[in-house]
A and B are shown apart, each in its own frame.
Chain A
Amino acid sequence: MNQLRVSFFKRRSVLYVLSSLAGALTGAALVWQYGRLASSAEERSSWYGKAVAAEVADLRWLDLEELALRTGGGSPCPSPIDSDSALALLTRELGRAPQEDESDRFRSALESFVLCSLDDVERIFADAGRMAAIDAVCRAYLRRAPGPVERLRYGHWLQSGMTIEAVSRDLMASPAYRKLARDTER
């Protein structure tokens, strides 16, 4: 009887040892697989992110070409808008006195978009439908309302026949959007 008991305990211990070993092996294999899956998913999503960014950048470059085609590249204004009028316009749009860098940016935007008269600029700001569309995409991508330079830039784009998708792509290429996307990932 004693011999039988010893044999039974021996067998049981062997079984326990074997099953623990098998369990440990399975556990390790699962952990390893999980790690592999996680890293491969990360690699894939980063590859996909880069591939999408490259395609969007291609499309955006074509948008810039389209803009140049639609606006004819733009020769400089024979008589540009005077600084005082530009400043008054910017003050009205901001609802406060602009800072120096803001007025510089606004003036250089007027110059680079070849907007030569106040009427041209007023027409852009007065287009409520387009301004609403710009406001919506800017809030969607940058989570804030567009500034006067952005409203001027994209108003000019839409007025020249560019699509709102092109505006979205332009915003997606901006450093502000990229920073926001990085922060959101974190």
Chain B
Amino acid sequence: MAKTVPEQTASRIGVTLLLWFTLWALGAVLLGSSLTEREAQRDEISGARLADYRRQAAEKLEELHEIDRERAASRKEGGPCTRPWSRDEAARVLARHTGRAPSSAGISRFSDAATKVGLCDPTSVDAVLEDAASGAAVDALFILLLERRAGVVEQVTHAQLFRRGWGADGVARAIRLSTAFKNSGAPLRPIGDKTRRDRDLKDVAALTPARRTCEAPLGRREVASVLAAEFLSPLPPDEVERLAAKGVELGLCDAREIRRIYRNRADQAAIDTLYRFLLRRLPDPMGRLVYGTWLAGGLGIDVVARDILESPEFKSLLAEPGA
């Protein structure tokens, strides 16, 4: 049946509209695919740029570690062991220090690590693991970088580096080159965890009342004599005054208690390590006293680490230039 004129016109309009919609759809598909392609290109470029930064950082870390090793070699440290550990001997040492039967892989890891750092017999391993100061220093770095304490094999390897004269930076570099650190995906620079900060502050605030309130102020002369025995150069009188006041504030009512804080080798080694690594300096007597009291009061080294990470000094070190 032949179409009438209006029907033909309507059909033409319909065809034209259909054509327009098809063209629109085609245009949209083309635009979409071009945008997708551009997005993929941008992804590739940004991924490559980030990978390049990561490669540079990894290379730099390796390079610095190599310098550490060269310096260690120039100090004429003993090399690796000439005789490998027997499996039985390694298993006995591991079992003694972990308190459980070690796995076969654990024994191999331990004997390899001990051989590499020149710990060739059970006595030398015992000496390293019983050295509280090196152990605390290693733990401080592990907690800072990996948020956990070091395992026995890690403890042996890194405490031996401390005992051989490596600095906190050097040992930290060795930790950051380990598989455990690489698998953790943590950044190479130390970062704090602000979410735990409030809890830390509460713990610190609870520490002093948990100790006690001193009845009388600490004698300046007593404190000065303790400090003179602990520090090579004499401290100025106003510094002694500040330390005595801080001692009272921390609930240390006797100069002997201050001495006990300064003489706790393990705690002081951990504080020393954190200061050297994070603030690039030795801890001052005030820092030693405050953080030493925190640790003696049962707070963890992670609390100390976070406090340093939140300090204006650390922050100014992170963004120092532009003076």
Contact = CB atoms under 8 A, between A and B. Distances in A.
Contact of A57 (B56, B169, B189, B276): B189
A12 B322 contact: no
Given A52-B53, A73-B280, A175-B319, A58 B189 contact: yes
A175 B188 CA distance: 21
Nearest to B20: A19
B56 A59 contact: yes
Contact of B54 (A11, A22, A48, A55): A55
B167 to A, nearest CB: 8
Scoring A44, A65, A150 by chain B CB atoms within 10 A of each residue's CB, the highest score goes to A65
A116 B178 CA distance: 39
A54 interface: yes
Contacts of B188: 58, 61-62
A66 B170 CA distance: 10
B60 interface: yes
Interface of B: 4, 6-7, 9-10, 13-14, 17, 21, 24, 28, 35, 42, 46, 49-50, 53-54, 56-57, 60-61, 64, 67-68, 167, 169, 173, 187-190, 276, 280, 317-323
Contacts, number: 104
B319 A65 contact: no
B64 A147 contact: no
B323 A147 contact: yes
Given A171-B322, A176-B322, 19 more contacts: A7-B6, A8-B6, A8-B10, A15-B14, A51-B46, A57-B189, A58-B187, A58-B189, A59-B56, A62-B60, A64-B317, A65-B169, A66-B60, A105-B323, A142-B322, A150-B323, A153-B321, A173-B320, A175-B319
B179 to A, nearest CB: 19
Contacts of A97: none
Contacts of A37: 35
Nearest to A75: B282
Say what secondary structure dominates the interface of chain A. helix
Say what secondary structure dominates the interface of chain B. helix
A93 to B, nearest CB: 13
A62 B6 contact: no
A177 interface: yes
Interface of A: 4-5, 7-8, 11-12, 15, 19, 22, 26, 30, 37, 44, 48, 51-52, 54-66, 68-69, 73, 105, 109, 142, 147, 149-150, 153, 170-171, 173-178
A171 B46 CA distance: 22
Contacts of A73: 167, 276, 280
B64 A65 contact: yes
21 contacts: A8-B6, A8-B7, A11-B6, A11-B7, A15-B14, A15-B17, A30-B28, A52-B53, A54-B187, A55-B53, A57-B187, A59-B56, A59-B60, A62-B60, A69-B64, A69-B68, A73-B167, A170-B321, A173-B318, A174-B320, A177-B322
B169 A173 contact: no
B64 A62 contact: yes
A107 B6 CA distance: 95
Contacts of A44: 42
A177 B7 CA distance: 71
Which 6 residue pairs spanning A and B have beta carbons closest together?
Answer: A8-B6, A174-B322, A61-B189, A55-B53, A176-B322, A58-B188
